[in-house]
Amino acid sequence: MQHTVEGPTNNEVLENLRLELRRGCLILAVLAELRDERYGYTLRKALAGQGMEIDEGTLYPLLRRLESQGLLVSEWREEDKRNKRFYRLSADGKLILKQLSAEWKSINASLDGIL
Amino acid sequence: MELIERYLQAVKFALPPEQRDDIIKELRDNILSQVEEKEAELGNPLSEDEQVELLKKLGSPMRLASRYRKQQQMIGATMFPIYWKVLKASLALAFLVLAAASIATAAAGKTLMESLGVLFRYPSVALMTFAWITLAFSALEFFGARLRLKDTWDPRKLPPLVKQSPRKSRFELIAQLLVQTIFGVWWLAGLHYQYLILGPGIAFLRFGPVWQTIYPLFVVMVLVDLTLTAAMLVWPQWIQGRRVSRLVMSALGLVVLYFLINAPDLFVAADSITPQLQALAKGTNYGVHLGLVIAAIVSVVNIGIESVRFVGRRLGRVHQATVS
């Protein structure tokens, strides 16, 4: 006898897993992009330009979280007649980025072998 | 750009209070940057439909704001701000109902312990309120998720902009302090020299003994009132000043009302022999008593409303806004 359990569809499962996979990558991408100082809007465009689309609802809370973890520093400054919050990597952020990049390369190499 | 401001206002409503202004400032800049880019691309200002489209891309205000909150266990981050506000309002309402019942018991001539006993039932009532509301919202969260409620919202239906009440100017505060001082001196002196308050009426009525019994309370009220206004004058950045002031004065007023409501004779006849004056004193006491009971109920409602707003803000600050 075959039992069927009502649950999420394959598409939903795929979407959830894709989001999970992207989450860690996004952090790495954001940290890497913030080696140069940027404000949210230009950061988002820079990421999109590299094929890493990220919506505001994900990016801005992520920036705040990374800042609260001490990986980013920010300051309000006027540019184009409007106040903008500029972010850049902190000293801790630079160190973490280096370690995460090494981790990423290691995982990538392993996965290449596995896949 | 009113639509954008209305959107930001709706997002702000559900944000953690301590980061609210900062987040909104950043979001506003981001949205305006997008608008500018789009307008440069199109070569004309964005129509309402284009603004709606842009805002829809950002997601509903509650959803966007929820990303800035820590994920709750039973109630999701999207639902949590509404749950929190409903819970606070319901707890305050429960308090108001019990406080009104307590005052009514006191007005009915019951003892202090009996009237306070009604109020002491608050912890169990509050617990029940908390349990039912949490249960209702958990169910809403659960079934909402099961039904996969769509994020159908329309920026056009966002509430209109609310004007912020401006902070009192230094001149207004000085004028207020002056009026409070004159009133305080008049009132405190008038309780001793009754003709200052009763005027020609002193030929018919005098204050009952209760006014002298609670005289120290009036002194405290006047001093506290003046101190709070002076504090707002010295520290204009004390945003909660007006609210604290109203709350403290309402609470002190309620204590005064309690004693007055329970006093048998608020006014006595100037002449204890004349029957007409006795009747006048009796009628006045009845009317004033009734007025005091109504004043007490209004005062309790005010305290409830002010407490909810004040405690809400304080709790909001404590509620950590780490991002999920």
pLDDT at residue number A76: 92
Residue with the larger pLDDT of the pair B293 and B277: B293
Number of helices (H) and strands (E) in chain B: give both, helices first.
13, 2
Residue A79 lies inside a defined structural domain of this protein: yes
Nearest CA of chain A to the CA of B38: how many Å? 13
Rounded to a whole number, what is the largest CA-CA distance in chain B?
93
How many domains is chain A partitioned into structurally?
1
Question: What gap in Å lies between CA B205 and CA B1, rounded to an integer?
Answer: 63
Q: What is the DSSP letter of B108?
A: T
Closest chain B CA to residue A79 = B29
For chain B, give the percent of residues with pLDDT over 90: 6
Nearest to B242 by CA among B183, B298, B302: B302
The yes-or-no verdict on residue B245 having pLDDT over 90 is no
pLDDT at residue number B203: 80
Strand ranges in chain A using DSSP code E only, listed in sequence order: 38-39, 72-79, 82-89
Residue A9 lies inside a defined structural domain of this protein: no
Show residues of chain B in contact with A66, CB under 8 Å.
none
Q: Which of B25, B29, B68 sits opposite A61 (nearest CB)?
A: B68
The yes-or-no verdict on residue B3 having pLDDT over 80 is yes
Kindly indicate the confidence band of residue A32, based on its pLDDT and cuts at 50, 70 and 90. Answer: very high
Residue-wise pLDDT tens digits, B91-114: 888 887 887 777 777 766 777 777
Report the length, in residues, of chain B: 324
* B119 and B133 Cβ atoms separated by less than 8 Å: no
- The pair of structure tokens assigned to B194 is 């009754």
Amino acid (one-letter) located at B95: F
Residue-wise pLDDT tens digits, B77-89: 777 888 888 888 8
pLDDT at residue number A28: 93
Residue A70 lies inside a defined structural domain of this protein: yes
Quick one: how far is CA B288 from the chain centroid? 27
| Interface contact A62-B323, CB threshold 8 A | yes
pLDDT at residue number B323: 34
Distance between start and end Cα atoms, chain B: 30
Show residues of chain B in contact with A85, CB under 8 Å.
22, 25-26, 29
Q: Which of B29, B34, B322 sits opposite A83 (nearest CB)?
A: B29
Residue A15 lies inside a defined structural domain of this protein: no
Q: What is the CATH number of the domain that holds A60?
A: 1.10.10.10
pLDDT at residue number A43: 94
Residue-wise pLDDT tens digits, A74-115: 999 988 788 899 999 999 999 999 999 999 999 999 999 998
* B1 and B38 Cβ atoms separated by less than 8 Å: no
Lowest mean pLDDT among A2-16, B7-21, B241-255: A2-16
Quick one: how far is CA B90 from the chain centroid? 13
Domain range for A95 is 35-114
Residue with the larger pLDDT of the pair B62 and A37: A37
Domain residues of chain B, as ranges?
Answer: 2-66, 80-157, 170-318
| φ/ψ of residue B267, rounded to 5 | -130, 145
What value does the mean pLDDT take over residues B285-294?
85
Q: Which of B27, B33, B34 sits opposite A60 (nearest CB)?
A: B27
Sign of CA dihedral A74, A76, A81, A82: positive
The yes-or-no verdict on residue B14 having pLDDT over 90 is no
* B196 and B190 Cβ atoms separated by less than 8 Å: yes
| Interface contact B30-A41, CB threshold 8 A | yes
Show residues of chain B in contact with A40, CB under 8 Å.
26, 29-30
